[in-house]
Amino acid sequence: MANITFSEASGLNDSIFGKSQAPIRLFIEKRGEAFEQKSMIPVFCAEEQSQHFGEKYTSMTAMEGFQPVGENGEAPVDGMQEGYSKFIENMTWKNSFSLSREIIEDAKTMDLRRKPEAFVTAYYRTRELFAAALLGAAMTAATSADYGGRKFDATAADNLSFFNTAHLSKVKGGTQCNAFKDAFSDAALAAVETRMQNFCGDNGEVLDISPDTIIIPNIYSLKQAVFAVIGADRDPDSAYNGFNYHFGRWNVAVWPYLNKYVSSGTAPWMLCDSRYNKTAGGFVFQNRTNLDVISYLSQGNDANVWHGYARFTGGFNDWRAYALGGYSSGQTA
């Protein structure tokens, strides 16, 4: 069943609207299930279930490790420190639709299906568009994302833009970059992957990051370039048809919602370590209250109102889960 809960106000079962409740509820649930199966949020985000007004995300630095002390030597005292932290506050979202008594009495099937479908489509599309707005803002090095007339924080836990050329370490180590200017190619994919594999934690420790997902907007030339690089087990540019080590190693996610945030003449692309993203909370999508639908009879015009309420939000924490290519102000990988 879709993540939708229903409640019904008193009197509906005894009214002309009573017979419409179960069919509309079933239709909304089925449409919700279909949208959840197609959602790209689980691909791009670390989905978290929130239990509070907001949630704090943080990390712990690695220990220094074991030291050689010789026979009967004392054990050194090791320790850990808290890394950067990020608080992400949940947002309330609402929408509604209504069915007039005349629609029910006349059994206008088109309206009985169209309005509930538009309602549940709007909810799931809002989630996708909101997540895309956050990632789209990050692609342009913005520190906030505009959605629905509100601003949402788009910085990483170090208070810099999620994609940045000079991310800071909390304890020790130099600045690090996850924003690169390289256009997508065989060499660029290998170079950015290598840079990600060398990312270090806040204590200077190598994190063993292994990017496994390529994320791109729906640009045909970019799709051609990506699949030309990863789609064959032999290198067509090699005189001896050498082995293509990119073959079979990548998942590709094409997200048309990102197109809105792509400037003319640019072709941004991203790499993501999906495992690290989920364990460390890189790009977080935070669910507080699943879609709660209340059906009641309006006292003003005898309409059957379906009111939707949900709480969710998103944001960025650990930048190391992602790297961006094709960014004009980035470094050369």
| Main-chain dihedrals φ then ψ at residue 124, nearest 5 degrees | -70, -35
Q: Residue 8 corresponds to which tokens in the numbers above?
A: 């019904």
Secondary structure letter of residue 206 according to DSSP = B
With contact defined as beta carbons under 8 Å apart, do 88 and 45 qualify?
Answer: no
Report CA Rg, the chain. Answer: 25
In angstroms, rounded to a whole number, what is the distance separating the alpha carbons of residues 190 and 333? Answer: 9
Helices 18-38 and 109-139 cross at an angle (nearest 10°) of 30
Polymer length of the chain: 333
In angstroms, rounded to a whole number, what is the distance separating the alpha carbons of residues 208 and 239? Answer: 34
3-state helix, strand, coil split of the chain in percent (to 5) is 30, 25, 40
> What residue ranges define each of the domains in the chain, with the CATH number in brackets?
4-60+85-325 (3.90.1690)
In angstroms, rounded to a whole number, what is the distance separating the alpha carbons of residues 88 and 50? Answer: 10
Q: Which of 131, 148, 149 is nearest to 139 (CA)?
A: 131
Q: Which of 34, 35, 11, 12 is nearest to 22 (CA)?
A: 12
In angstroms, rounded to a whole number, what is the distance separating the alpha carbons of residues 63 and 204? Answer: 10
**How confident is the model over 57-111, as pLDDT tens digits?**
887 666 666 778 777 777 776 655 677 889 999 999 999 988 877 777 776 655 6
Residue for token pair 């790499």: 271
Q: Which of 55, 85, 120 is nearest to 287 (CA)?
A: 55
pLDDT of 16 reads 64
Q: Which of 247, 251, 221, 219 is nearest to 234 (CA)?
A: 247
With contact defined as beta carbons under 8 Å apart, do 53 and 89 qualify?
Answer: yes
pLDDT of 240 reads 53
In angstroms, rounded to a whole number, what is the distance separating the alpha carbons of residues 142 and 165? Answer: 13
Contacts of residue 138, Cβ cutoff 8 Å, sequence gap at least 6: 154, 161, 162, 163, 316, 322, 324
pLDDT of 76 reads 72
Q: Print pLDDT tens along the chain (333 aa).
A: 347 776 665 556 656 666 677 777 777 777 777 777 788 999 999 999 999 999 998 876 666 667 787 777 777 766 556 778 899 999 999 999 888 777 777 766 556 677 888 888 889 999 999 999 999 999 999 999 999 999 999 999 999 999 999 998 888 878 999 999 999 999 999 999 999 999 998 888 888 899 999 999 999 999 999 998 888 766 656 655 666 667 778 999 999 999 999 988 899 999 999 999 999 999 999 999 989 888 887 777 778 888 899 999 999 999 999 999 999 889 998
pLDDT of 248 reads 74
Residue for token pair 């050689």: 68
Q: Residue 67 corresponds to which tokens in the numbers above?
A: 């030291």
pLDDT of 78 reads 63
How many Cβ atoms are within 10 Å of 212's Cβ, its own excluded? 16
In angstroms, rounded to a whole number, what is the distance separating the alpha carbons of residues 284 and 162? Answer: 12
Q: Which of 156, 99, 120 is nearest to 31 (CA)?
A: 120
In angstroms, rounded to a whole number, what is the distance separating the alpha carbons of residues 223 and 219? Answer: 6
- Distance, C-alpha 81 to centroid of its chain: 28
Beta bridge partners of 305: 98, 296
pLDDT of 1 reads 36
pLDDT of 315 reads 97
DSSP 106-150: TT-HHHHHHHHHHHHHHHHHHHHHHHHHHHHHHHTT-SEEEETTE
